[in-house]
Amino acid sequence: MNGRLAANLVTNIFLGANYDSYLSLVLNVLIYAGLWGIFQKCGLKGWRALIPCLREDGLGQAASREREGRVAAFLRGIIILLEVINLLTVSERDGSETVITMVEIISLLFSIASIIYTIRIYLGLIEVFGRRRRWILLWTLAEFIPALMWGWLKKYQPLWTVEELHSAAADFFSGAHVESLEEGLTVNLEERTTMDFFRKKYLLRDIHMYIQPGHMVLLLGGSGAGKTTFLNAVNGYEKAKAEVVLNGKNMYSRYKEMQYDIGFVPQLDLMRGSDSIYRTLMDAAAMRLPTYFTRAQREARVEEVMKIFGLSPSRHSHVDKLSGGQRKRLSIAMEFISNPSLFILDEPDSGLDGVMARELFQQLRRIADQGKIIIVITHTPDRVIDLFDDVIVLAKDSNRTGRLAFYGSVEEARTFFGRDRMEEIVKTINGTEEGGEGRADEFILRYAEVQHG
């Protein structure tokens, strides 16, 4: 197990006939017996303690440190592989000499990393069992002692089991479905998943909504709530198990036809600094307008867009000479070239002061008033909240899956959460480890009840 001293972690997995090898064997048996009991107390299969990699992964789950457990399991697998390689090459060395191979050096480095992650797991396990942090010394230096005590003495019980971490909100699935209309945006997202250490991991789940044309929508959520993943699923960049319909057309089945009907403005732009505003927009027109557009038509569209965004007086200015506000407007203008029905913006006000940010959002408001749908992520929403129509609130449930905690008007959001400011709403749903109130599950379930009437 990884909790022993570094020297023991890099010894051969082959058990020789000397005293130290047999002592290691006995200590390992005691450790694994203790972990078997701990796994059972925490709601896991005890036999997982006997299998390398599964043991580390299971210990991470028991300690509420799943990420650290997966990393530790990966490191254990690499260390075992290196030890096997070392064994296969040992016969080629001169037995009279001590040779430190590159394999042994690499194995030592991985073992040090493994110790660090194992200590993190032990600290989590100490919290789960409600013990003082000084137990970490015993877990690190004499692992078999706390393993046996915590695994088999009734005095030592976890404060919660792995199953209890999965709350009602985490397991709840509404089964809702929003009817698709000929106008506006309809999202019926069942799940967005990925594979994480051979396990299916939910990034987003159970998100259903309809956004009317002409609405400017704020997307709120704490770090890791899945805001960017949600936007990527909506615009088809990262497909989910979902139905996304824009103005009566299915985004996924007709993606090539519709990709220019969505404008996506990322936080970081990819414009060439040596190009002028006019040249930048002409390049965007060549890429985003239909091929049947003549050069004269593209030029006319560029002139129109520059006028809309107040860029005409600076048409010959190079991108790297623009102010922050001008550069943001140019980023949006590039996407506006194709006259999309849906605009998605990821922190367009990043790096802008209050005056420039408000000017930018007022421009977005004017675009929305033309019948466009605008969805925006911003970390300073309260300075421009009066310009928005609706609010989407995503929150991490106890399984750390992004869920819909609210969708409705700004005033309805204030009433629903009992908070006047949008930033206070985010604090309400953020976890306590992030300085929040940890009420995400409560509002996920409450909003589900509202949806079902």
* pLDDT per position as a tens digit, 90-128: 555 554 444 556 777 888 899 899 999 999 999 999 988
User: Is the pLDDT at 331 greater than 90, yes or no?
Assistant: no
- The arithmetic mean of pLDDT across residues 3-25, rounded, is 48
User: Is the pLDDT at 301 greater than 70, yes or no?
Assistant: yes
User: Is the pLDDT at 217 greater than 50, yes or no?
Assistant: yes
Looking at residue 198, its pLDDT comes to: 60
Helix (H) or strand (E) holding 207: strand 199-211
Q: Considering only CA atoms, which of 274, 276, 300 is closest in space to residue 289? A: 300
Looking at residue 445, its pLDDT comes to: 87
Q: What number of residues does the chain have?
A: 453
Alpha carbon separation from 404 to 184, 188, 206 (Å, rounded) = 19, 12, 7
Structure tokens at 113: 């990393």
Q: What is the mean pLDDT of the chain?
A: 84
User: Is the pLDDT at 453 greater than 60, yes or no?
Assistant: no
User: Is the pLDDT at 418 greater than 90, yes or no?
Assistant: yes
Looking at residue 328, its pLDDT comes to: 83
- The arithmetic mean of pLDDT across residues 241-253, rounded, is 90
Helix (H) or strand (E) holding 244: strand 241-246
Instruction: Report the alpha-carbon distance of residue 249 to residue 255 in Å, rounded.
Output: 9
**Position 365 confidence tier, pLDDT thresholds 50, 70, 90:** very high
- The arithmetic mean of pLDDT across residues 15-23, rounded, is 50
Structure tokens at 422: 């949008």
Structure tokens at 337: 């070239």
Instruction: Report the alpha-carbon distance of residue 94 to residue 311 in Å, rounded.
Output: 75
**Position 417 confidence tier, pLDDT thresholds 50, 70, 90:** very high
Quote the distance between the C-alpha of residue 197 and its chain's center. Answer: 15
**Position 338 confidence tier, pLDDT thresholds 50, 70, 90:** confident
Q: Which of 120-124, 227-231, 325-329 has the lowest mean pLDDT?
A: 325-329
Q: Which of 52-56, 171-175, 333-337 has the lowest mean pLDDT?
A: 171-175
For the chain, domain boundaries: 6-159, 168-451
Q: Are strands 390-396 and 342-346 parallel, antiparallel or unpaired?
A: unpaired
Specify the pTM: 0.68
Structural contact between residues 378 and 347, judged by C-beta atoms closer than 8 angstroms: yes
Looking at residue 167, its pLDDT comes to: 53
SS3 for 336-376 is: HCCCCCEEEEECCCCCCCHHHHHHHHHHHHHHHCCCCEEEE
Looking at residue 6, its pLDDT comes to: 38
Q: Which of 37-46, 50-59, 320-329 has the lowest mean pLDDT?
A: 320-329
Residue percentage of the chain with pLDDT more than 90: 40
Instruction: Report the alpha-carbon distance of residue 219 to residue 150 in Å, rounded.
Output: 45
Looking at residue 392, its pLDDT comes to: 97
Does the domain spanning 168-451 belong to CATH 3.40.50.300? Answer: yes
pLDDT in tens, 174-208: 667 788 888 999 999 998 888 766 667 788 989 99
Looking at residue 41, its pLDDT comes to: 93
Looking at residue 91, its pLDDT comes to: 52
Q: Considering only CA atoms, which of 293, 297, 322, 298 is closest in space to residue 310? A: 322
Structural contact between residues 225 and 394, judged by C-beta atoms closer than 8 angstroms: yes
User: Is the pLDDT at 20 greater than 60, yes or no?
Assistant: no
Instruction: Report the alpha-carbon distance of residue 267 to residue 349 in Å, rounded.
Output: 9
Instruction: Report the alpha-carbon distance of residue 352 to residue 322 in Å, rounded.
Output: 13
Structural contact between residues 55 and 49, judged by C-beta atoms closer than 8 angstroms: yes
Looking at residue 7, its pLDDT comes to: 40
User: Is the pLDDT at 343 greater than 80, yes or no?
Assistant: yes
Cβ partners under 8 Å of residue 66, min gap 6: 60
Q: Which residue has the higher pLDDT, 271 or 11?
A: 271
Q: Which of 175-184, 222-231, 240-249, 398-407 has the lowest mean pLDDT?
A: 175-184
Instruction: Report the alpha-carbon distance of residue 122 to residue 63 in Å, rounded.
Output: 7
